[in-house]
Structure 1
Amino acid sequence: MNALGVAVGLLAGLVIVLVLYMGLLQRQLRNINRQLDRRLSEGTRQPVSLALINRELNQLTANINKCLKAEENLRLEGIREEKRFKELIANISHDLRTPLTAIRGYQQLMNKTELSDDQRHKLRAAQKRADELGVLIEHFFEYSYLVSAEPVPVLERMNLTNMVTECLAETIAVFEEKSLVVHLESPEPVFAYVDREMTARIVQNLIRNCALHSDGDVEVRILIADHAVISFRNHIRNTVDIDVDRLFERFYTANHSKSRTTGLGLSIVRLLAERQGGRTRASLKDGFLEIIVALPLNT
């Protein structure tokens, strides 16, 4: 009995030690989870620590810290890469804009000299191409900036009808030059919660797209559905080669287009709309192309 009692006592003691040890292991696992939760919720960069001497748990903690360190290195490298990308964009901007400015300067000088009708016609064509190149360059840098910097929109309640009207008034000369008439329809003032600058860029790009590709009057509507809606509708020729599902893609170009564009203008429209919680779509029916931008009515 004495021997049996001793064995039972030792076994009971061993069970108690094991229970305490398991309790300590669970406590340490909860501690690791709390530290990981804190890193996720508070954005801390502290490594995971462990107070219990256990080979497997220590190895697990060491591996977790290695993964966290590798993730942190990737994050820092991403920041450095983004900085290098922005510097590259700035350098390319200078490299492209400088010769374009020189080209325009020489064109202006030539315009002041005596030229034959044929030479003046060719000069006007060259000036038009230089202007188109300037627009493409601006779109390229704007799109690159939006993708890399991801600016946060500052949403405010804004009269969308007034903004569209003002943007159209500012560019009326462009439509008159192409003998286009704009019909604006907005039965009542439409308000939306949007970023003022981003929305202005959306409208300006929609106007530019119509001015470039429309061969008839332009219909602009502002209305309220489940969103605040801006619609630009215009007639175009040779609609067979246009894929409306790809109009908002970067660098998409309809095969028949005489003024070949990269499609960045509409890509910027979609990007800016989505940044504000909106959406875009396009439709083509009976030769009329309609671009629709839906923006949030409420915050």
Structure 2
Amino acid sequence: MDTLTLILLAALIMCLIVLILVLFRYHLLREEVRSFREQLNKIRTTDREQPLLVASFSASSVELAKEINLLTEELRTMATEATESEKRIRVIMAGVSHDFRTPLTSIDGYLQMIQGLLAECDAMSNEADILIKSESDEHETESINDNKTVSKNVSIKKYNELCDYFGIVYDKVRYLKELSDEFFEVTYIQAKERPEMKSVRFDTVLSDELLSAYNWINERKLDVKLDIPEEKLVVMADEHYLKRIIENLFSNARKYAETSIDISVRNEISNIRFIMKNDISSDMNIDTKHIFEPFVRSKDRSGPGTGLGLYICKELADYLGFSISGSVEKSVFKIELIMPKK
């Protein structure tokens, strides 16, 4: 063979080798794609949590598998959060439905009683008029006066009963108003995508709330102890949500404090720590593991409030990246809120 023939033969062999390598690589790629497809199908249709496996050591395949695994994990996390959120919403909806139905039934009953009392008052008024007209004889004046006195006493009693019933109805309506406001707040939190984070003066927010609470604290004659630094306390937060947390904590203290409220603020290196304590009735049985769950108060219908206040605090705190916890020791209820600084 001459040199040209050898060169052509070598070139042909090299082409064949390259072709074989390309075909082999193509085959491996097809197998890799098929394997990916089958594994993704199992991940999609089953509860499989094993990451995507790579049969070859191709850098591109490994990187692709990494990205797919990260995406799969994110989707799985989002699905879990969505499921948990749906469960919480169902619990809240069930609680709201129950808490609306109960006072509405009560209101309906009391309104029927009020209607009955009004009918009795009308009947008594008519009877008194007939009695006065029929007994016009001068000798029976004393009897008429006695009947009018009895009628007046009965009317006063009926009036007092009406006042009691109206008071109960008014309290129930106020409760429904509070419940609807807090339910709206919960749905607003669930719907909003992200908080509007900015630098917020926590000392100003706290001072405003203390001023707002002055009247009811004074009326209740509560002993208030304050330990707050006289300096700017700036935190990174959504101002509306931060105010709502503090409002709810004060509202909770208003409902359950017996004689005292203790408020302190610690200016730490990277956080602002807010601590609020209030004494509670010795017969209150509080399970601190569940105080931030919705409608926990509903287990004890004699207690005040809707049972959503502390739940909203926890949801907002998590939303803002805060830490909130509660504890009870020797009939003292304590809430601790930790907020990152600016």
Structure 1 contact 241–256 (Cα < 8 Å) conserved: no
Q: CA separation of 1:173/1:122 partners in 2, compared to 1, >3 Å: closer, same or farther?
A: farther
Note the alpha carbon deviations across 1:225-267, whole angstroms, 9 max, x for none.
3521222211111355211121111221275562254421101
Q: Give the whole-Å Cα distance in 2 for the aligned partners of 1:69 and 1:157.
A: 43
> Which residue of structure 2 lines up, in the alignment, with residue 206 of structure 1?
249
CA offset at residue 133 of structure 1?
2.0
Structure 1 contact 242–254 (Cα < 8 Å) conserved: no
TM-score by length of 2: 0.57
CA offset at residue 278 of structure 1?
0.6
Q: CA separation of 1:59/1:283 partners in 2, compared to 1, >3 Å: closer, same or farther?
A: closer
CA offset at residue 216 of structure 1?
1.3
Q: Give the whole-Å Cα distance in 1 for the aligned partners of 2:217 and 2:169.
A: 21
Q: CA separation of 1:175/1:127 partners in 2, compared to 1, >3 Å: closer, same or farther?
A: farther
Q: Give the whole-Å Cα distance in 1 for the aligned partners of 2:298 and 2:44.
A: 47
Structure 1 contact 248–267 (Cα < 8 Å) conserved: yes
CA offset at residue 116 of structure 1?
2.7
Q: Give the whole-Å Cα distance in 1 for the aligned partners of 2:165 and 2:179.
A: 21
* Amino acid of the structure 2 residue aligned with 1:208: S
Residue identity (%): 21
* Amino acid of the structure 1 residue aligned with 2:322: G
> Which residue of structure 1 lines up, in the alignment, with residue 18 of structure 2?
16
Note the alpha carbon deviations across 1:183-231, whole angstroms, 9 max, x for none.
3320233221111101000011011111111111212222223521222
> Which residue of structure 2 lines up, in the alignment, with residue 43 of structure 1?
none
* Amino acid of the structure 2 residue aligned with 1:265: G
Higher helix share: 2
- What is the aligned counterpart of 2:182 among 126, 139, 147? 139
> Which residue of structure 2 lines up, in the alignment, with residue 292 of structure 1?
336
Larger Rg: 2
CA offset at residue 131 of structure 1?
1.1
> Which residue of structure 1 lines up, in the alignment, with residue 211 of structure 2?
169
* Amino acid of the structure 1 residue aligned with 2:264: R
Structure 2 contact 178–306 (Cα < 8 Å) conserved: no
Structure 1 contact 155–194 (Cα < 8 Å) conserved: yes
SS of equivalent to 1:229: strand
Structure 2 contact 255–304 (Cα < 8 Å) conserved: no
Alignment of 1:248-287 (within 5 A): 248-253=292-297, 258-287=302-331
> Which residue of structure 2 lines up, in the alignment, with residue 235 of structure 1?
279
TM-score by length of 1: 0.64
* Amino acid of the structure 1 residue aligned with 2:244: R
Please identify, of 60-69 and 280-289, the stretch whose mean Cα deviation from structure 2 is larger: 60-69
Extract unaligned runs of 5+ from structure 2.
Answer: 1-5, 46-71, 119-155
SS of equivalent to 1:219: strand
